[in-house]
Amino acid sequence: MMTTHNGKPACRLATAPEDFERLHLDGASIAPWEDGLRTDTKPGSYEWWYFDAHLDDGSSLVIGFYTKNPMEPGHRLEPFVTAALDRPGGRAVTIEQHFPAGQFTASKDRCDVRIAANAFRGDLRDYEIHVEHDDVTIDARLSSEVPPWRPATGHMYFGERDEHFFAWLPSVPQGTVAVTVTAGGRTERLSGIGYHDHNWGDTPMPRLINHWYWGRAQAGPYSIITSYITAERGYGDAEIATFFVAKGDQIVADDGTKVRFRVADEHTDEQSGKPVADVVVYEYDDGRDQYRVSFRRTETITNRQLIGEVSGIKHLLARLARFDGSYLRFTGTVRLEHFAGDRTIEDFSDPGIWELMYFGHTR
């Protein structure tokens, strides 16, 4: 069915029974194969497996395994691995390794991705992630505390006839993490709270999405995942909110249609030229309970300009088109407030990680 916004074909979150049937998905549970290889890796597709952790010493760790650059899915299989370990006091370890296609394998039955000597594998409950480069080795073990989840089918479709899609599976909304880092002959063992999700699609994201805010955190006994996606003009600037809150292992709120999104203290970032909000707020109201989740920025730990990730003639064309996409990752404080009417029931704050991905031109 065609969905329109501002008079144009828009994007939609696939929620109908026929969507679940077409995608062979169960609306009540998630199967291990959903975290396995979901594309054929041929030109026209991209896919990645993502992990992040906020560690007890104040460090943050982010790891990604990619079939190819999602900015250029028209390429053949070009696997690569990234890792960023940001330490208190400004110390950091940053890795990006690209490999021949023959060094990539992945199972369709479960998450078991291998890129050369690097591995990302698990079963929706327990995961092991191994990254090595030069004299640096990172091993992370993630054990889920919250069941896997997806917003409906996890698929967003774009266009009058669902011509394109972007899919997302938060396989581990929150779990405990044990990390071992060896660098320069010195080994450290760290622990904290982590997250894993899985993304795939069939079209360069700048053609579909203008920008998004995405974040995940723990606040007291609550696990939080949020996102707010704004589509490109060709899809009517449509907006889709995702909101997930679990208390312990029980989901208490996960309907993005009940969310109001707003930002505060917005300013132009000098390096990227993008508007960056120091405060990002999601307000959920189901008529009985209200939750307010606020992300308050302390530090920008990543500020990357995406034109450097487009190669060859496309790089030249991107410059001619004034492509100025940017990716920014933040750390700071995440606060969850739980209300019933005018009464505050709970109020928790903890460290968190969130991002602003800006593919298109600033509105």
Do 125 and 86 fall within a single domain?
yes
Query: Given a cut of 80, is residue 51 above it in pLDDT?
Result: yes
Query: Given a cut of 50, is residue 27 above it in pLDDT?
Result: yes
Question: 95, 86 in Cβ contact below 8 A?
Answer: no
Task: Encode pLDDT of 82-136 as tens digits.
Answer: 999 998 876 788 999 999 999 999 999 999 999 999 999 999 999 999 999 999 9
pLDDT for the residue numbered 301: 86
CATH label of the domain that carries residue 268:
2.40.370.10
Q: How many CB atoms lie within 10 A of CB 265?
A: 11
Do 11 and 145 fall within a single domain?
yes
pLDDT for the residue numbered 190: 96
pLDDT for the residue numbered 184: 86
pLDDT for the residue numbered 163: 93
Do 216 and 193 fall within a single domain?
no
Question: pLDDT over 70 for what percent of the chain?
Answer: 92
pLDDT for the residue numbered 7: 59
Of 45-49, 52-56, 110-114, 177-181, which gets the smallest average pLDDT?
A: 52-56
pLDDT band at 4 (very low <50, low <70, confident <90, very high): low
Q: What is the DSSP-derived secondary structure letter of residue 354?
A: E
- Give the CA distances from residue 236 to residues 11, 197, 252, 323, 328, in Å, rounded to whole numbers and listed in that order: 8, 28, 31, 20, 25
Do 194 and 282 fall within a single domain?
no
Burial class of 340 by CB neighbour count within 10 A (0 to 12, 13 to 18, 19+): exposed
Burial class of 98 by CB neighbour count within 10 A (0 to 12, 13 to 18, 19+): middle
pLDDT for the residue numbered 5: 55
pLDDT band at 37 (very low <50, low <70, confident <90, very high): very high
Do 154 and 274 fall within a single domain?
no
pLDDT for the residue numbered 352: 87
259-268 β-sheet, strand order: 250-253, 239-247, 222-231, 209-219, 343-358, 326-340, 290-305, 275-285, 259-268
pLDDT band at 313 (very low <50, low <70, confident <90, very high): very low
3-class SS of residue 142:
strand
Structural domain boundaries, residue 306 = 204-363
Task: Encode pLDDT of 228-284 as tens digits.
Answer: 999 998 898 999 999 999 999 999 999 999 999 999 999 998 888 899 999 999 999
pLDDT mean over 175-201: 95
pLDDT mean over 28-43: 97
Query: Given a cut of 50, is residue 310 above it in pLDDT?
Result: no
- Last residue of some domain: 168, 203, 238? 203
- Last residue of some domain: 173, 203, 233? 203
pLDDT band at 9 (very low <50, low <70, confident <90, very high): low
Query: Given a cut of 50, is residue 1 above it in pLDDT?
Result: no
pLDDT band at 153 (very low <50, low <70, confident <90, very high): very high
Do 70 and 115 fall within a single domain?
yes
Task: Encode pLDDT of 287-309 as tens digits.
Answer: 999 999 999 999 998 888 764 44
Do 114 and 237 fall within a single domain?
no
Do 102 and 194 fall within a single domain?
yes
pLDDT for the residue numbered 316: 34
Q: How many domains does the chain have?
A: 2
Query: Given a cut of 60, is residue 312 above it in pLDDT?
Result: no
pLDDT for the residue numbered 92: 84
Do 38 and 105 fall within a single domain?
yes
Do 13 and 132 fall within a single domain?
yes
pTM of the model: 0.88
pLDDT band at 6 (very low <50, low <70, confident <90, very high): low
Question: 193, 174 in Cβ contact below 8 A?
Answer: yes
pLDDT for the residue numbered 123: 98
Question: pLDDT over 90 for what percent of the chain?
Answer: 75
- Last residue of some domain: 178, 203, 228? 203
Do 193 and 211 fall within a single domain?
no
Question: 131, 121 in Cβ contact below 8 A?
Answer: no
Query: Given a cut of 80, is residue 324 above it in pLDDT?
Result: no
Do 28 and 146 fall within a single domain?
yes
